[in-house]
């Protein structure tokens, strides 16, 4: 058995199965200290992830007390926790691993685009206002500024201010540029965390680890999610992937967003990733502490290049 620890779970790799045990911590917008909350999130993880990986997510199993009080899987006697049970995927087929080897075939990205295009096309438009949609970016931008401009971190202050000021100016001067995506019915309940490590290029491809703990964070423009995936692929050496995804998914959705919207989404996602990277250093005992500031600076550089397209001088 192999055990891996993530920010929010322990993952046990046992033969052809994966068992995920959620930590009793406070997630963003949801307290997971109670057993009932963890059970709910396990069941939500299964429900939501079966949309893009139907054969991977097998179910939820209780962890109870067996004979002599020992922990026992599938025992409903004295349940102490719940586990998500998954089929184990080949790690070398994960998109981030394939990018590290320089082994990503264009036809596999086309298959991924077809999966995502079909997924988004089958989702209903969400009922929210353009004003609420724009206000969400304004709120997140304020959080980005609070963390990225914190003088405890070794971030280039002038560049941080320039990037965030330009993005704020776009939301202030041209809110309809982003807001019209709502009026066009483009906001769907998507994946919420579309990154290369969550894509497995098996046949057919699957996408795992949907963001299950807050529905509002899943209410996205598909091209916002795709911008995150494209950004992360570029950071890992696959800059060509984003344009291929945009084009093929756009054809499936009969949608071609304004290039300035795509640039804004890219800059926003890069700033959000920078903020989340730095936020690890605010934890009492951050893992890999030396990695987070350099990573945040990399994201800032990606945001700076994108924001010049969205809001030129």
* Strand-pair partners of 64: 72
Question: In terms of domains, do 266 and 184 share one?
Answer: yes
Residue at token pair 């006697």: 77
pLDDT digits (tens, 9 = 90+) for 255-302: 999 999 999 999 999 999 999 999 999 988 888 899 999 999 999 999
d(CA 189, CA 307): 26
Domain closes at, from 68, 88, 108: 88
Residue 244's alpha-carbon distances to 108, 227, 229, in angstroms, are 11, 12, 12
The 8-class DSSP code of residue 175 comes to H
Question: In terms of domains, do 20 and 127 share one?
Answer: no
Is the C-alpha dihedral spanning 158, 162, 164, 168 positive or negative? positive
Q: Which domain holds residue 20?
A: 2-88
- 165, pLDDT greater than 70: yes
Q: In this structure, are residues 296 and 278 in contact, taking their beta carbons and an 8 Å threshold? A: yes
Residue at token pair 């483009």: 186
- Indicate which CATH number applies to the domain containing 194: 3.90.1200.10
pLDDT digits (tens, 9 = 90+) for 222-238: 999 999 999 999 999 99
pLDDT digits (tens, 9 = 90+) for 177-218: 999 999 999 999 999 999 999 999 999 999 999 999 899 999
Question: In terms of domains, do 30 and 153 share one?
Answer: no
Locate 312 and state its tokens: 């030129």
Question: In terms of domains, do 63 and 103 share one?
Answer: no
**In this structure, what is the dihedral angle of CA atoms 155, 146, 280, 45, given to the nearest 10 degrees?**
-130
Question: How many residues can be counted in the chain?
Answer: 313
Q: In this structure, are residues 188 and 116 in contact, taking their beta carbons and an 8 Å threshold? A: no
The 8-class DSSP code of residue 124 comes to P
- 68, pLDDT greater than 70: no
Question: In terms of domains, do 137 and 152 share one?
Answer: yes
Question: In terms of domains, do 205 and 283 share one?
Answer: yes
């Amino acid at each position: 058995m192999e055990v891996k620890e993530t920010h929010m779970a322990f993952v046990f790799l046992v033969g052809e199965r994966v068992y995920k045990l959620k930590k009793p911590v406070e997630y963003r917008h949801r307290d997971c200290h109670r057993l009932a909350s963890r059970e709910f999130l396990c069941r939500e993880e299964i429900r939501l992830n079966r949309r893009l990986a139907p054969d991977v997510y097998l179910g939820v199993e209780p962890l109870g007390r067996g004979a002599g009080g020992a922990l026992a899987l599938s025992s409903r006697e004295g349940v102490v926790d719940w586990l998500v049970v998954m089929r184990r995927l080949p790690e070398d087929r994960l998109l981030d691993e394939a990018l590290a080897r320089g082994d990503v075939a264009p036809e596999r990205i086309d298959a991924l685009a077809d999966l995502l295009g079909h997924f988004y096309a089958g989702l209903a438009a969400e009922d929210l206002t353009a004003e609420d949609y724009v206000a969400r970016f304004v709120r997140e931008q304020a959080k980005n500024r609070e963390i990225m401009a914190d003088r405890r971190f070794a971030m280039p202050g002038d560049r941080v201010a320039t990037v965030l000021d330009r993005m704020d100016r776009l939301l202030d001067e041209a809110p309809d540029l982003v807001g019209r995506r709502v009026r066009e019915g483009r906001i769907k309940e998507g994946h919420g965390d579309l990154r290369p490590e969550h894509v497995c290029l098996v046949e057919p491809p699957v996408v795992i680890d949907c963001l299950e703990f807050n529905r509002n964070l899943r209410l996205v423009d598909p091209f916002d999610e795709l911008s995150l995936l494209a950004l992360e692929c570029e950071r890992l050496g696959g800059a060509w992937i984003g344009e291929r995804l945009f084009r093929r998914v756009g054809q499936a959705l009969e949608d071609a967003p304004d290039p300035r919207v795509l640039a804004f989404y890219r800059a926003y996602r890069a700033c959000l990733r920078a903020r989340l990277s730095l936020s690890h250093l605010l934890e009492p005992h951050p893992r890999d502490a030396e990695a987070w500031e350099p990573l945040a600076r990399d994201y800032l550089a990606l945001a700076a290049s994108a924001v010049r397209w969205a809001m030129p001088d």
